[in-house]
Amino acid sequence: MTHLDHLYRVAYYLVKNDVDAQDCVQETCARALTSRDQFTPGTNMKAWLTKILYNFFYDFYTRNRRTIAAEDLSLSAGGDFWETLPTQSAGPETQVSAQELAVKVDDALKQIPEEFRAPIVLVDMGDFTYAEAAEILSCPIGTVRSRLSRGRKLLHRILGRDVL
Amino acid sequence: MNCEQAQEWITALIDNELSAVERAAIEGHLRDCRQCQQTHEQERAIKQQVRLASASITAPAALRQAVEGARSRPSAWVQARRRLKEFLAMPLVRPALIVAFLLLVIYPLMFRGGEQRSIAVAALSTHEAIATGQKTVTRVNDVEKLKAQLVQAVNGRFAPMGFDLSAMKLYPVAGFVQKIGGRDVLVTVYQGAGHVTCFTFLGSESDAPDDATVFFDEVKKIRFYSFSQSDFHAVLHREGELICIMVSKMPAADLLAMVRAKARHS
């Protein structure tokens, strides 16, 4: 399946664990098969599948809003989320290999709230345009852009000079 | 453009989401603002690192197998249709289905009298059971009370035929409701100088057996159906929506004459 890696990647960063991500993708594929008549040939199948996946995730998120919200609250406990983020020092001991950096980026992505994480996952990983991401997330293009901007700054705050 | 306004434009610049005019505007700001240049470089590096980090994440083999398996598996609807076709293609299945169809649909339509005939036959059998003592009945003294109980038993839909057979020294002594072929039948037992049982139920003349002998009374404009089983004889006639079957061991001609005398034109 052409878009399987992409779907799994998106799912993995949305739900933040492998087991749920696999469930998400399987459910997405099942729903896509069921409603394949609704797909218009010649349009963007990757975006169509991703929207199905995100809708499923969103439903799940809504059903489990209390649990996930509590998790996000723990990040922002004590006030502004920005103030709680760890900052990296610039010393030589913090210089990391590419592999270590990938792990740090992975961790950092999982730390930021879903509303900022989702646009990053779609645009930076999925190569979607703002318009496509807005369609998938069911929000205005301007919202995608502002959340991307804030999300990347959050990541930079966590990763510090590791990335530059 | 100030630095605050520039932030989202920097993001859009990195993602190549700006028009030529917008691009020129933000690039002009970046040339003059060292801080925003730094933001631009940092954000571009973040995007690159995110891409690199995510590139190593691929679907696990188990998931790939599960999805491929599900995709190659037809939908439940398609599977059901395929199984049905395979089933119909099996030898003798189609003929068997046709026979089953005939038995279930055509046969009851063709032989609708089957159920009704069974009421007529059951009437003969019930009378025989009462007359021979195989079926015991509870005697009552109050005939009017018995009639009221029977009417109540069928929710007042109909009443038993109240023939006065006292001239033949036959008196109603018992009664009950019998369910035959899904229909309520009021049974009135007459005893005295013999045994006669009267069966009353909602029905039509098609309740008479096909092999019954038909007598038409031109004066009363009533058809009487005479039929027998063993030594017992029965006469069926209709009064409105009610069917009455009188059963007795007396000769069939006598029974017919008695019923003809008592029957009322509806």
Q: What is the pLDDT of residues A149-164, one digit of tens each?
A: 999 999 999 987 666 6
Structure token pair of residue B200: 């009353």
- Cα Rg for chain A, rounded, in angstroms? 17
Q: Do the chains contact at A9 and B57, CB–CB below 8 Å?
A: yes
Q: Which residues of B touch A101 (CB under 8 A)?
A: 49, 52-53
Q: Which of residues 64-123 of A touch B (CB under 8 A)?
A: 98, 101-103, 105-106, 109, 120-121, 123
Cβ neighbours of B33 (radius 10 Å): 16
CATH class of A88-164: mainly alpha
| One domain for residues B76 and B183 | no
Answer yes or no: are the C-beta atoms of A156 and A113 closer than 8 Å: no
Question: Distance between CA atoms of A12 and A21, rounded to whole angstroms?
Answer: 5
Q: Do the chains contact at A153 and B43, CB–CB below 8 Å?
A: yes
Question: Distance between CA atoms of B74 and B80, rounded to whole angstroms?
Answer: 10
* For testing contact with chain A, the best of B8, B37, B63, B79 (most A CBs within 10 A): B63
* For testing contact with chain A, the best of B43, B49, B56, B73 (most A CBs within 10 A): B49
Q: Do the chains contact at B70 and A101, CB–CB below 8 Å?
A: no
Q: What is the pLDDT of residues A6-59, one digit of tens each?
A: 999 999 998 888 888 888 898 898 888 888 888 888 888 999 999 999 998 888
| One domain for residues B26 and B129 | no
Q: Which residues of A99-123 are buried (b: 16+ CB within 10 A; e: fewer)?
A: eebbebbbebbebbbbebbbbbbbb
Answer yes or no: are the C-beta atoms of A130 and A149 closer than 8 Å: no
> What's the CATH number for A1-63?
1.10.1740.10
Give the CA angle between residues B13, B15, B21 to the nearest 5°.
Answer: 35
For chain A, give every domain's residue range. Answer: 1-63, 88-164
Helix runs in chain B, H state only: 3-14, 20-32, 34-55, 61-72, 76-89, 93-101, 107-110, 113-131, 143-153, 252-262
Pick from B209, B229, B208: which is nearest to B131 by CA? Answer: B229
Question: Which residue numbers in chain B have pLDDT < 70?
Answer: 70-82, 106-117, 266
| One domain for residues B154 and B183 | yes
Q: What is the CATH classification number for the domain harbouring B219?
A: 3.40.1000
Answer yes or no: are the C-beta atoms of A10 and A21 closer than 8 Å: no
Pick from A45, A44, A54: which is nearest to A1 by CA? Answer: A45
Answer yes or no: are the C-beta atoms of A75 and A111 closer than 8 Å: yes
Q: Do the chains contact at A109 and B50, CB–CB below 8 Å?
A: yes
Q: What is the pLDDT of residues A62-103, one digit of tens each?
A: 555 544 444 444 444 344 544 444 444 444 444 456 677 788
> Would you state the pLDDT for residue B111?
53
Question: Distance between CA atoms of B239 and B242, rounded to whole angstroms?
Answer: 5
Q: Going by C-beta distance under 8 Å and a sequence separation of 6 or more, which residues neighbour residue A99? A: none
Q: Residue A26's closest chain B neighbor by CA?
A: B67
Structure token pair of residue A53: 């996946």
Residue B194, burial from CB neighbour count under 10 angstroms (0-12, 13-18, 19+) = middle
Q: Residue A20's closest chain B neighbor by CA?
A: B63
Structure token pair of residue B70: 């599900």
- First and final C-alpha spacing in chain B: 105
Residue A152: which of B47, B56, B58 has the nearest Cβ? B47
Tell whether B11 lies on the interface with A, counting CB pairs under 8 A.
yes
Tell whether B76 lies on the interface with A, counting CB pairs under 8 A.
no
Question: Which of B12, B31, B55 lies at the terminal end of a domain, its last residue?
Answer: B55
Structurally, chain B folds into a number of domains equal to 3
Residue B20, burial from CB neighbour count under 10 angstroms (0-12, 13-18, 19+) = exposed
> Would you state the pLDDT for residue B42?
92
| One domain for residues B10 and B119 | no
| One domain for residues B175 and B100 | no
- The β-bridge relationship of strands B195-202 and B213-217 is unpaired
In DSSP terms, A32 is beta-bridged to none
Residue B67: which of A26, A120, A121 has the nearest Cβ? A26
Which uninterrupted H or E stretch holds A110? Answer: helix A98-111
What φ, ψ does residue A68 adopt, rounded to 5°? Answer: -70, -35
Q: What DSSP character marks residue A121?
A: I
Structure token pair of residue B44: 């571009």
pLDDT band at A105 (very low <50, low <70, confident <90, very high): confident
Q: What is the pLDDT of residues B220-233, one digit of tens each?
A: 889 999 999 888 99
| One domain for residues B188 and B100 | no
Structure token pair of residue B56: 């190593």
Question: Distance between CA atoms of A50 and B183, rounded to whole angstroms?
Answer: 64
Question: Which of B55, B74, B89 lies at the terminal end of a domain, its last residue?
Answer: B55
| One domain for residues B49 and B65 | no
> Would you state the pLDDT for residue B4?
87
Give CA separation, A154 vs A98, A105, A144, A145, B152, in Å: 20, 11, 15, 14, 85
> Would you state the pLDDT for residue B200?
94
Q: Do the chains contact at B64 and A1, CB–CB below 8 Å?
A: yes
> Would you state the pLDDT for residue A78?
40
Question: Distance between CA atoms of B148 and A33, rounded to whole angstroms?
Answer: 68
Residue A149: which of B8, B41, B66 has the nearest Cβ? B8
Tell whether A156 lies on the interface with B, counting CB pairs under 8 A.
yes
Question: Distance between CA atoms of B226 and B17, rounded to whole angstroms?
Answer: 99
Q: Which residues of B touch A4 (CB under 8 A)?
A: 59, 63-64, 67
Tell whether B149 lies on the interface with A, counting CB pairs under 8 A.
no
- The β-bridge relationship of strands B195-202 and B183-192 is antiparallel
> Would you state the pLDDT for residue A149?
94
Indicate if ipTM > 0.95: no
Could you tell me which residue, B110 or A1, shows the higher pLDDT?
A: A1
Q: Which residues of A touch B57 (CB under 8 A)?
A: 5, 8-9, 12
| One domain for residues B188 and B128 | yes
Range of the domain at B247: 113-262
Tell whether A7 lies on the interface with B, counting CB pairs under 8 A.
yes
Amino acid at position B147, single letter: K
Pick from B195, B201, B183, B191: which is nearest to B143 by CA? Answer: B191
| One domain for residues B157 and B97 | no
| One domain for residues B250 and B186 | yes
Q: Do the chains contact at B53 and A109, CB–CB below 8 Å?
A: yes
> Would you state the pLDDT for residue B135?
85
| One domain for residues B164 and B92 | no
Q: Do the chains contact at A29 and B70, CB–CB below 8 Å?
A: yes
Question: Distance between CA atoms of B26 and B10, rounded to whole angstroms?
Answer: 7
Could you tell me which residue, B87 or A5, shows the higher pLDDT?
A: A5
Secondary structure class of B173 (helix, strand, coil): strand
